[in-house]
Structure 1
Amino acid sequence: MSERVIPIAIDAGTAYGRPQPSYRVELAEVGPGTPMGELLRRYWHPIGLLADATDTPRRVRVLGEDLILFRDKRGRPGLVYPHCAHRGTSLYYGKVEEQGIRCCYHGWLFDVQGRCVEQPCEPNGGRARDKIRQPWYPVLEQYGLIWAYMGPPEKKPVLPRYESLESLGEGEFLEADDSSIGGGGPRIVDCNWLQHYENLVDPFHVVVLHSTFSGTQFVEQLAQMPQVSWDPVELGVQTTQVRQFPDGKIFRRLSQAAIPTLRVVPSPRVGRFGPVESIGWVLPIDDHHFRIYTVGRVQAAGELTRMRSRPDGQRLWEELTEEEHQRFPGDYEAMTGQGKIARHSEEHLATSDRGIVMLRRFLQKQVETVRQGGDPAGVVFDPHAPPVRFNAGNFIED
C-alpha cells in the first residue's frame, strides 16, 4: 500500500527575491545639474532669518551646496562659495570687515559679490586682483528672511511678494520662524524634501495619523473624514476639504502646494476663519535633509512658533522619549519612516492619492519646461508684478 503524499503549501508573497527599490530621481535629487536641482535653481529660496547673517561667518547648505553666509560691516549680506579662490581654505574662518570677508590664510578680501578687493601679500595690494572672483550668489532680504538665487544669472527672476503677507490687519505684524513648522519634528528633518511637499496634498493622513491613530493631535473637527477634491492651479495643486459641523454649518478648508516649495496651509485652529495667514517654504538642504522657513501675520510675538505641532497634544517633539515617538507618531515619523528618499517603486497608489499624482505630474512638467529652455511656472521678471494671491484658508458657510 503506497503512502499518501501530502503536498507542502508554498508560501506566497514573501520578501525573498524582491526587486531592488528605486525612487523618482528626476523629482527627488536637488544637486547641481540634476533635473529637479536645475528647476529649483530658477527660483529664490529662503536660506536663513535676517539675524543669521552677521559678522560671524555661518555655514549653510542649500540644494546640496555648502556655502558661507555673512553680513559685512556696511550691513550688506553675502553668500559665497566656502573655499577661498587663492589656496582653498575655508572662509568659515574668515574675518568680516567693512568691505567684505577676509580669508584667514593670506588675507585676501572679497566683497559680497565675490570681487577680490585686497591681496595684502602681493605688490601694491595685488595688481591682478580685479581678475579674481570668489564664487557667490545674489541675496535679498524680505519678510524677515534672507533669500538666495542660485540659478543662471541671465534667468534671475524678481523676488515674489505675497498678498497674504502684504495685507496686514489691525494690530498684525509679520513674524518669521525657522523651526520647521509643519515638519512635525526638529528644525532639520532627515529625509528628502519631496516627502513633505507631497504630504501637503494628502489630507487623509490628518484623519488617521493625527487623529484616530494616536489621539487627536490638532482639533477634533479635523478628525472628521472630509470630502476631498483636488484642482490643478497655475502654481501647483489646490486641495479642498469639506466637513459639516454638528450645527449644520459647512467648514471648507483650502490649502495649496505651490511651486517651487511653498506650503500654503491655513491654521489648524478651527475658529480662525479667513484667508491663509502664513506661508512656509520647504528648503531642500540636500537629497536627504530639508527644513521649513515660515512667515505669517501675527498679533503677538511668538504666536507663529506656537503653531508647532505637539505629538501627544501637549509636548513638543523633542520633549518625547523614543517610546513616546512610537506611541504618538506625527509627520516627522511618517515622513522619515519612508526612508531617506521614499521608495517610489514599491508604492501602491490608491484613489486617495490623486493629489500626489497630480503634484508629481505638475513637477515633471516644470522639469521638462526647464530642460527645453523655457521658464517654469511662477517665474516673473517684471519688478512691478502684483503680489501672488492664493485661495487658501479656512472658511465657514451656513
Structure 2
Amino acid sequence: MKPQENERLSRVGPGTPGGEMLRRYWWPIWFSELVTDKPVPVRLLGEDLVLFRDASGKVAILDKRCPHRGASLEFGRVEEDGLRCCYHGWKFAADGRCIDMPAEPADTPLKDEVRQTAYETFETAGLVFAYLGPDPVPLLPKFDLLFRKDCHRVLYSKEEHCNWLQRAENGYDPHHLMALHAPGYPQIALQPAKITWEKTLYGYRTQMDYPDGLVNVTQQVFPSHTRRLAARVGNAPKHYFNLRVPVDDELTITFFLQAEIAEKGPYRLETRGHASSDRLEFDPIDDGWWGIPSHEQDRIAQESQGVIADRSREFLGTSDEGIVMFRRLLTDSIKAVEEGKDPFGVIREHGMEDYIRLDAGKNFSDGTLKPPDIINA
C-alpha cells in the first residue's frame, strides 16, 4: 500500500477522506448510566465534545469549546433548558442555539448569529450513540444485542493507543487466533481446514471449519465492529458485540457488550465503566507463549505495529484475504462518500417492529443462523 493511501484510510479528523466516511455512521460514545446533569468531556473522530442530560432526560452533545472565548463547557452548569458556560455565562440549548448572553443587551442580534455545534444522539442497550455527519441523519441499525429485550447485559470499555484501522483489521484476520491467542485457548490452536467469507448487508460473515468438527462463526459489522459468541461447557453461551470507536488518529476505544439470552426477566444491565491504559504496558505473566495476559494480547500486538501502522512495509499473503477484502470495502466506501453517495451499510429505513439478527456461534454448521435474518422484536 502506498503511504498516501494509508493516510487516506487511517485519518479520522474532519475533512479527511476517511473521517468524512466514518461520520456517516452512528458511534457509541459513552455509557447512559454515567451521563447525568454533570457535563462529561468526550472525544470522537478527532472532535472534542461534551455530553450532558437535559431536564427532559435527553442526552445532548455539543462542541466542547464555548464559541465566545473558547472556555471548555465541561466546567459548565446544566440548567433546565441548556448548558451554561462557566466563564461568561453564555447558555446553549441542546440543539446548539445560544439562549442567554448575560453581559449583552437583551435585544442583541448576536444570540441569533451564534450557533454551537450540536450533534444527534440515541440511547439503547445502556449506551449513548452519536452521529457526527451531515443531514439527513441515517438510522442506527437495529442490531440484535443493541435492541432485543430478552437478555442480561454487561458493558465496559477499554482504550488502545493506536489507530482505529489496526483495531478494525483485527476482526478480519482470523489466522491471528492460532498464534496470538492459542496458549490460552488450545481449542483454537488448530489450523482450520477451511475458512469461508460471505458478504452480508452489513459486513462479512466468517466461518472457520476445524478438523475436529468445530465450526466457529463470527460477524464483522462494517466499519469496525465484531459480533461473536463464546460457549462454555455447563454455562449459558455469552454473546459479545465489540464496538471499536475511533477517538482520534492515535487512540481507539472499544465498547464491549456482553449479553446472556434469558427467557424470563427481570433483565439486568451492569455498567462496569472504562479502563484506561498506557501504550505497550501490561503486567507480564509466567505462563503462555508470550507472557501477555489473554485480555491484553490484541491491544499489545496492535499497539506494537505503531501508533499508525506503516502499511507500505507489509508483505501480505493468501492468509490475509480478509484484510484485503476489508480494505477494498473501505476504499469503495470512501469513494462513495466523495461522489455524494452513502457508504456501505448505512441504513435509511427499516421496519420498526424488527431487529437485525446477527447470531454468531460455534457448532452451528447447519447454516440456520446465517444473517441477516430478521425476527420480531
TM-score normalised by length of structure 1: 0.79
Match of 1:234 among 188, 196, 201: 201
Q: Which whole-Å CA distance do the structure 1 matches of 2:171 and 2:236 have between them?
A: 19
Q: Which whole-Å CA distance do the structure 2 matches of 1:131 and 1:319 have between them?
A: 50
Cα-to-partner distance string for 1:34-81 (whole Å, 9 max, x where unaligned):
111111101111100102322222211100111111122332211111
In structure 2, do the counterparts of structure 1 residues 123 and 198 end up closer, same or farther at CA, with 3 Å as the change threshold? same
Tell me if the contact between 2:156 and 2:257 (Cα under 8 Å) persists in the aligned partners. no
Q: Which whole-Å CA distance do the structure 2 matches of 1:254 and 1:162 have between them?
A: 17
Q: Which whole-Å CA distance do the structure 2 matches of 1:142 and 1:343 have between them?
A: 37
Q: 1:193 Cα deviation (Å)?
A: 0.9
More strand by share: 2
Tell me if the contact between 1:282 and 1:291 (Cα under 8 Å) persists in the aligned partners. yes
Q: Which whole-Å CA distance do the structure 1 matches of 2:302 and 2:98 have between them?
A: 44
In structure 2, do the counterparts of structure 1 residues 60 and 395 end up closer, same or farther at CA, with 3 Å as the change threshold? same
Q: Which whole-Å CA distance do the structure 2 matches of 1:388 and 1:64 have between them?
A: 30
Q: 1:109 Cα deviation (Å)?
A: 0.8
Cα-to-partner distance string for 1:6-54 (whole Å, 9 max, x where unaligned):
xxxxxxxxxxxxxx97761121111111111111101111100102322
1:221 aligns with 2:187: yes
Structure-2 residue corresponding to 1:116: 98
Tell me if the contact between 2:126 and 2:269 (Cα under 8 Å) persists in the aligned partners. no
Match of 1:195 among 161, 166, 183: 166
Where structure 1 has 5 or more consecutive residues not aligned to the other structure, the ranges are 1-19, 180-186, 309-316
Tell me if the contact between 1:46 and 1:148 (Cα under 8 Å) persists in the aligned partners. yes
Q: Which whole-Å CA distance do the structure 1 matches of 2:86 and 2:66 have between them?
A: 10
Cα-to-partner distance string for 1:334-382 (whole Å, 9 max, x where unaligned):
1111101111011000111111111111111111111111112221222
Structure-1 residue corresponding to 2:349: 382
In structure 2, do the counterparts of structure 1 residues 333 and 302 end up closer, same or farther at CA, with 3 Å as the change threshold? farther
Matched residue SS, 1:32: coil
Structure-2 residue corresponding to 1:157: 138
Where structure 2 has 5 or more consecutive residues not aligned to the other structure, the ranges are 367-377
Q: How many residues align?
A: 348
Q: Which moved more, 1:351-360 or 1:72-81?
A: 72-81
Matched residue SS, 1:266: strand
Structure-2 residue corresponding to 1:360: 327
Match of 1:251 among 211, 214, 222: 214
State the one-letter code of the partner of 1:194: L
In structure 2, do the counterparts of structure 1 residues 123 and 292 end up closer, same or farther at CA, with 3 Å as the change threshold? same
Tell me if the contact between 1:273 and 1:395 (Cα under 8 Å) persists in the aligned partners. no
Structure-1 residue corresponding to 2:360: 392
State the one-letter code of the partner of 1:286: D
Structure-1 residue corresponding to 2:153: 174
Tell me if the contact between 1:58 and 1:70 (Cα under 8 Å) persists in the aligned partners. yes
Match of 1:140 among 117, 122, 127: 122
Matched residue SS, 1:379: coil
In structure 2, do the counterparts of structure 1 residues 382 and 98 end up closer, same or farther at CA, with 3 Å as the change threshold? same
State the one-letter code of the partner of 2:78: V
Cα-to-partner distance string for 1:119-153 (whole Å, 9 max, x where unaligned):
12223375542332111111111111111110012
In structure 2, do the counterparts of structure 1 residues 273 and 348 end up closer, same or farther at CA, with 3 Å as the change threshold? farther
1:200-211 equivalences in 2 (<5 Å): 200-211=171-182
Q: Which moved more, 1:99-108 or 1:260-269?
A: 260-269
Q: 1:116 Cα deviation (Å)?
A: 1.2
Match of 2:230 among 267, 275, 285: 267
Aligned-residue sequence identity (percent) comes to: 38
1:314-329 equivalences in 2 (<5 Å): 320-321=283-284, 327-328=291-292
Larger Cα Rg: Structure 1 or Structure 2? 1
Q: Which whole-Å CA distance do the structure 1 matches of 2:270 and 2:74 have between them?
A: 34
State the one-letter code of the partner of 2:112: D
Q: 1:198 Cα deviation (Å)?
A: 0.9
Q: 1:99 Cα deviation (Å)?
A: 1.0
Superposition CA RMSD, Å? 3.0
Q: Which whole-Å CA distance do the structure 2 matches of 1:112 and 1:23 have between them?
A: 38
Q: Which whole-Å CA distance do the structure 2 matches of 1:147 and 1:303 have between them?
A: 18
Cα-to-partner distance string for 1:207-263 (whole Å, 9 max, x where unaligned):
11111xxxx22x321122213222333322221111243xxxx22111122213221
